[in-house]
Amino acid sequence: MKGTTKAVVVLGAAALVAQPLLTSGVGEAAESLLSHNKLTTTSSVENASFAGNFAVDGDATTRWASLEAADPQWISVDLGGPALISRVKLNWEAAYATDYTVETSDDGQNWKHARAVTGGDGAIDEIAGLNAAGRYLRVHGTKRGTAYGYSLWELEVYGSRTGGGDVEAPTAPTGLRSTGSTADSITLAWQPSTDNVGVSGYEILRNGNVVGTSATTSYTDGGLASGTSFTYTVRARDAAGNLSPASAAVQASTGPGSGTGTVLVVAGDIAKRQIPSEHNKTAKLVEGIKPQYVLTVGDNQYDNGTISEFRTYYDKTWGKFKNITKPTPGNHEWYDKLNGYKQYFGSIATPQGKPYYSFDVGDWHFVALDSDPLTDGITGDQLTWLKNDLATTKKACIGGYWHHPRFNSGQYGDLRSIAPFWDEMVKARADVVFSGHDHHYERLKPLNSSGRVDEANGVRSAVVGIGGDSLYTQIKPREGVEASFAKHGVMKLVLNGRSYSWEIIGTDGKLLDKAGPYTCR
């Protein structure tokens, strides 16, 4: 299904607009580019920088990107009126579809099959001889070619106008405003649009992506992360499927969440040179949260944790929070024997002269450990130190964090080698432990030394390896798992005296999971 006219690919959509009209082969009607700068709708966007409109703007350096690690996903374009569609050209980014369908619709709601593609290999797909009719065209991805999502530099739809029917769009809504908010919702209102026939409803867009519809001039957007700002627009639709331009944008924020306690951010598996955009996005989340501390659960910098890598990648994103960071190393820092890690973080990483240490925050005592020696079967001085440290703390609450999880539903599974750390936390009646290493998130009930649920004596835990590296989707929930998924984001941990809670916030600001409040023992 690959295009063969490479000169056309180089010219791009903007140049194609100026080219002479071609014959489509469908009744010899004149063929033209119908999709340039037309309205789009998407199933999801990775973030506002990759909204659907960037796939039809004629610029091959901008793109639409869906959420990662999720099927199916789609993008549709409103051609502005009824048309006979002869061909479609897709310019895939590295995150491409191997299997997808091309569909058309008269109203943007009911879809007709036009062509199925299987076994695609990305790059340029040119689908000719469609002979399909409709006002809307949708590319519906059903199988990804990578662990990421779906992403198109350009979606070009060619054909000829057929006219007829209601082709006049409603006016853009005006007066969009926030009329109220809670810790996880924002309520919007706006002035009604007008239309030559009649407005049938409104579409609400958050950060460039449609998140809901309303038959009235108000909408409540729920399930959001607390203390986070979002950008909203609204557009009107009529019964014929015509969409208005978007309203003027408005920013609105959710409330700060429960309590006014100490806020920390937790995440691991962060900066990877091959995908710099991901740790840049999670760093922006940290900026919005404004925590008092950042706790990293290892593999701060890939691939080998050298000082050059730290300065080139981590320092430009998460390095902004270096002064409030309490790091731990992972196996990738150990590839450089912790040289780059220690040089970059300095005494922050070794406040007691070792790559493991403890500190207090209010009613909490935290132990930050180096789990890599345990995976090599070495316990040594660190375990002795841990026993003494836990025995001497007078704090009511105990938390721990390190890279390798003891119990885990991901690709690496339970790690028996980490038992010495875990067992000491159980003996100390610790409250919670955070880890990374597996690149997903999961929340587990309190587990005892045998990995069985034990609400009275076990330790609660979470895997938070979602800071920026490639995600692992091989999750088979073990005993005690309360939630799990593979999406990038960070944990916002709130300590309120002897209680604690957390939210997992995705890179689009959406609340992905909420836990607690829990009370310390």
CATH number assigned to the domain comprising residue 220: 2.60.40.10
Within-domain flag for 152: yes
Question: Within a 10 A sphere around the Cβ of 399, how many other Cβ atoms?
Answer: 26
DSSP letter for each residue of 409-443? SSTT---GGGHHHHHHHHHTT--EEEE-SSSSEEE
Cα separation, 99 vs 140, in Å, equals: 9
Q: Where are the beta strands (DSSP E) in 240-292?
A: 250-253, 262-267
In this structure, are 229 and 309 located in the same domain?
no
- The predicted structure's pLDDT at residue 259: 58
- Distances, alpha carbon 481 to alpha carbons 398, 430, 461, 492, in Å: 21, 19, 10, 19
Contact (CB, 8 A) for 454 and 448: yes
In this structure, are 278 and 378 located in the same domain?
yes
Q: Which residues of the chain have pLDDT under 70?
A: 1-29, 48, 164-165, 167, 241, 258-259
- Segments forming the whole domain that contains residue 240: 174-253
In this structure, are 148 and 190 located in the same domain?
no
In this structure, are 307 and 394 located in the same domain?
yes
Which residue in 59, 56, 11, 15 sits closest to 37, CA to CA?
56
Cα separation, 10 vs 404, in Å, equals: 47
Which residue in 274, 6, 31, 275 sits closest to 123, CA to CA?
6
Contact (CB, 8 A) for 507 and 228: no
Strand partners, 22: 31
Cα separation, 94 vs 42, in Å, equals: 19
Cα separation, 329 vs 344, in Å, equals: 12
Contacts of 369 (CB under 8 A, 6+ apart): 328, 356, 382, 386, 400, 401, 402, 421
Instruction: Give the torsion through C-alpha atoms of 332, 334, 338, 340, to 10 deg.
Output: -30
Contact (CB, 8 A) for 429 and 398: yes
Per-residue tokens: 490: 């960070």
Cα separation, 435 vs 10, in Å, equals: 46
- The predicted structure's pLDDT at residue 23: 41
In this structure, are 150 and 179 located in the same domain?
no
Within-domain flag for 11: no
Question: CA quadruple 131, 136, 139, 142: dihedral positive or negative?
Answer: negative
Contacts of 447 (CB under 8 A, 6+ apart): 407, 453, 454, 458, 459, 461, 479, 480
Cα separation, 270 vs 43, in Å, equals: 27
Using DSSP, state whether 449 is helix, strand or coil: coil
Q: Phi-psi region for residue 80, left (φ > 0), alpha (ψ -120 to 50) or beta?
A: left
173 phi and psi, to 5 degrees?
A: -60, 150
- The predicted structure's pLDDT at residue 223: 84
Per-residue tokens: 38: 């037309």
In this structure, are 379 and 476 located in the same domain?
yes
Per residue in 432-450, pLDDT (tens digit) is 999 999 999 999 999 999 9
Within-domain flag for 355: yes
Q: Which residues of 365-388 are buried (b: 16+ CB within 10 A; e: fewer)?
A: bbbbbbbbbbeeeeeeebbebbee
- The predicted structure's pLDDT at residue 225: 81
Cα separation, 414 vs 487, in Å, equals: 21
In this structure, are 194 and 319 located in the same domain?
no
In this structure, are 507 and 363 located in the same domain?
yes
Contact (CB, 8 A) for 493 and 271: no
Q: pTM (2 decimals)?
A: 0.68
Q: Which of 234, 253, 272 is the last residue in one of the domains?
A: 253
Within-domain flag for 24: no
Q: Phi-psi region for residue 340, left (φ > 0), alpha (ψ -120 to 50) or beta?
A: alpha
278: domain CATH number? 3.60.21.10
Which amino acid, 93?
Answer: E
Question: CA quadruple 102, 106, 111, 114: dihedral positive or negative?
Answer: negative
Question: Count of domains in the chain?
Answer: 3
Which residue in 304, 432, 301, 423 sits closest to 364, CA to CA?
432
DSSP state of 51: -
Q: Which of 161, 186, 218 is the last residue in one of the domains?
A: 161
Contact (CB, 8 A) for 486 and 508: no
Within-domain flag for 133: yes
Contact (CB, 8 A) for 95 and 144: yes
Within-domain flag for 14: no
Cα separation, 244 vs 195, in Å, equals: 9
Within-domain flag for 454: yes
In this structure, are 328 and 467 located in the same domain?
yes
Per residue in 247-256, pLDDT (tens digit) is 999 999 888 7
In this structure, are 241 and 292 located in the same domain?
no
Contact (CB, 8 A) for 173 and 122: no
Q: Which residues of 247-284 are buried (b: 16+ CB within 10 A; e: fewer)?
A: beebebebeebbeebbbbbbbbbbbbeebeebbbbbbb
Within-domain flag for 427: yes
Contacts of 171 (CB under 8 A, 6+ apart): 193, 194, 195, 236, 244
